[in-house]
């Protein structure tokens, strides 16, 4: 049995190698299949499920004791709004949160009265809040503006730093890959998209880029003029770079995923804290797919984008001739 350190050393020296670049079509096919399933599943379900912060509505929250009965809340709302489809959530061990469409002041009082009667609590103990859809629309607009500005800025910085726009393209494709799949899982499973989840989506971008930049920096080092080995094709040099940073990427990802997983478990199953659950779930999915996209999407795509350049073609022909001897 090899230790992780021994495996890392063998990958770094090229003694052992995972053919990432050579199997690019396989990785691209896997990503395309996952994206198609996520997008198609979201479409078949009728789109994303947005939280009350985006759709607008009324919310009622009360403490009812351990093991709260959610059916009572649904029945109480139906007494006032027979055609409503309320969303009832257990928060922690003893709280019930009821969300409905926007209701009038009279309907709100009637729902509070019905909930108080159903659970045997005082009407004054029920917290009521109203959220307009305009607030959610403004948040969505600002998030999209931030995303576009971020992508443009990152593209320029990466193009200047790596001295090639093709690395920027590969990195952005990997970013979009992560966002589409993460959002697609939300749509496919019907998970609610809240402002906390949107924050998680945007946070994914920073981590995914960090991992990509680390790998690309090694690729630049191994493929720079005067450093590219005559015995290796450009694709093989890129593949060596990926293998040399593979263990580091895995270790960094595990270190990041463990605390996020802890927050997700505590937020979702222990505290019942919706905000913690929403942001940590988006982060967990994004971190996981971010590692995959850096290794199996961004790096092979960069090698593919440069494979037809005259200088690269000439170098590869010389390298293959050396290898055939």
pLDDT digits (tens, 9 = 90+) for 183-223: 888 888 888 787 778 777 777 777 778 788 888 888 988 88
Within this chain, do residues 66 and 193 fall inside the same structural domain, yes or no? Answer: no
Stretch 276-299: mean pLDDT: 83
- The whole-number average pLDDT for the span 112-129 is 84
Indicate if the pLDDT at residue 11 is higher than 90: no
Mean pLDDT of 171-181: 88
Higher pLDDT, 151 or 9: 151
Residue 10 pLDDT level (bands cut at 50, 70, 90): low
Check whether 15 has a pLDDT greater than 70: no
Percent of the chain with pLDDT over 70: 90
Do 222 and 303 lie in one domain? The reply is yes
Please state, rounded to an integer, the average pLDDT across all residues of the chain.
81
Region 229-236 average pLDDT: 86
Partners of 50 in beta bridges: 193
pLDDT on residue 3: 58
Sheet harboring 127-131: ordered strands across?
87-91, 95-100, 57-63, 127-131
Taking the CA atoms of residue 190, residue 191, residue 196 and residue 197 in that order, the dihedral angle to the nearest 10 degrees is -70
Domain end position, chosen among 131, 160, 182: 131
Is residue 39's pLDDT more than 80? Answer: yes
- Residue 12: what pLDDT? 62
d(CA 120, CA 76): 12
Q: Which two tokens stand for residue 246?
A: 């593979």
- 215, 296 in Cβ contact below 8 A? no
Average pLDDT in the 305-311 region? 90
- Calculate the CA 113 to chain-centre distance: 41
In terms of domains, do 122 and 79 share one?
A: yes
Question: Do 248 and 320 sit in the same domain of this protein?
Answer: yes
The last residue of one of the domains, among 131, 163, 192, is 131
Residue 189, both tokens: 């499973």
Is residue 1's pLDDT more than 50? no
CATH code of the domain covering residue 71: 3.30.70.3400
Residue 319: which CATH number? 1.20.1640.10
User: Which has the higher per-residue pLDDT, 230 or 35?
Assistant: 35
Based on the domain organization, do 154 and 303 belong to the same domain?
yes
Query: Minimal CA–CA distance to 208: which of 244, 236, 170?
Result: 170
In the chain the beta strands, taken as DSSP E runs, fall at 49-50, 57-63, 87-91, 95-100, 127-131, 192-193
The Cα 60–Cα 74 span in angstroms is 12
Q: Is the pLDDT of residue 297 over 70?
A: yes
Shared domain for 102 and 169, answered yes or no, is no
**pTM of this prediction exceeds 0.85:** no
Q: What share of the chain is helix, strand, coil (3-state, %, to 5)?
A: 70, 10, 20
For residue 6, pLDDT beyond 70: no
Give the domain range for residue 121. 57-131
pLDDT at 22 over 80: yes
Residues 240, 176, single domain; the answer is: yes
Going by pLDDT thresholds of 50, 70 and 90, the confidence category of residue 271 is low
Most confident of 63-67, 111-115, 124-128: 111-115
Beta bridge partners of 323: none
| Two structure tokens written together for 101 | 């469409």
Per the listing, tokens 């002041």 go with: 105
Lowest mean pLDDT among 90-94, 145-149, 213-217, 246-250: 90-94
Gyration radius of the chain's alpha carbons: 26
One domain, residues 8 and 98: no
Q: How many domains does the chain have?
A: 2
Where is the domain boundary, 105, 131, 157? 131
**pLDDT given at position 161:** 79
Q: If pLDDT is split at 50, 70 and 90, which confidence band does 30 have?
A: very high
Whole-number Å distance between alpha carbons of 293 and 101: 39
> In the structure encoding, which two tokens stand for residue 180, read together?
């589409």
Residues 191, 257 within the same domain: yes
Task: Tell me the pLDDT band of 159, cut-offs 50, 70 and 90.
Answer: confident
**Residue 255 half-sphere exposure toward CB, CA atoms < 13 A:** 8
Q: Are residues 207 and 240 in the same domain?
A: yes
228 and 185, same domain (yes or no): yes
Q: Which of 111, 126, 119 is nearest to 81 (CA)?
A: 111
Q: Give DSSP secondary structure letters for 14-52.
A: TSS---TTTTHHHHHHHHHHHHHHHHHHHHHTTS-EE-H
For residues 242 and 295, state if they share a domain: yes
């Amino acid at each position: 049995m090899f230790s992780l350190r021994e495996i890392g050393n063998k990958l770094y020296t090229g003694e052992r190698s995972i053919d990432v670049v050579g199997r690019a079509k396989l990785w691209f096919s896997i990503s395309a299949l996952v994206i198609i399933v996520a997008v198609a599943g979201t479409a078949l379900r009728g789109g994303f499920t947005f939280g009350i912060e985006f759709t607008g509505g009324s919310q009622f929250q009360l403490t009812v004791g351990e093991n709260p009965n959610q059916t009572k809340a649904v029945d109480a709302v139906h007494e006032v709004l027979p055609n409503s489809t309320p969303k009832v959530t257990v928060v922690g061990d003893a709280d019930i949160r009821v969300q409905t469409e926007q209701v009038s002041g009279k309907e709100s009082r009637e729902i509070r009265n019905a909930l108080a009667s159903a659970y045997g609590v005082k009407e004054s103990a029920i917290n009521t809040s109203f959220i307009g859809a305009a607030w959610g629309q403004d948040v969505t607009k600002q998030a999209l503006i931030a995303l576009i500005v971020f992508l443009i800025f990152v593209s320029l910085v990466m193009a200047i730093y790596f001295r090639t726009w093709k690395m920027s393209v590969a990195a952005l494709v990997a970013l979009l890959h992560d966002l589409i799949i993460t959002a697609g899982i939300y749509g496919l499973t019907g998970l609610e998209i809240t402002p906390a989840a949107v924050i998680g989506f945007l946070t994914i971008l920073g981590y995914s880029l960090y991992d990509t930049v680390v790998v690309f920096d090694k690729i630049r080092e191994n493929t720079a003029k005067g450093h590219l080995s005559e015995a290796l094709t450009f694709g093989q040099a890129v593949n060596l770079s990926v293998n040399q940073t593979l263990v580091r990427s895995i270790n960094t990802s595990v270190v990041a995923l463990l605390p996020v997983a802890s927050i997700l478990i505590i937020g979702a199953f222990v505290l019942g804290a919706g905000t913690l659950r929403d942001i940590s779930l988006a982060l967990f999915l994004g971190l996981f797919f971010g590692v995959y996209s850096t290794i199996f999407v961004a790096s092979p795509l960069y090698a593919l984008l440069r494979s037809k350049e005259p200088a690269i073609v000439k170098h590869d022909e010389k390298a293959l001739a050396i290898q055939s001897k």
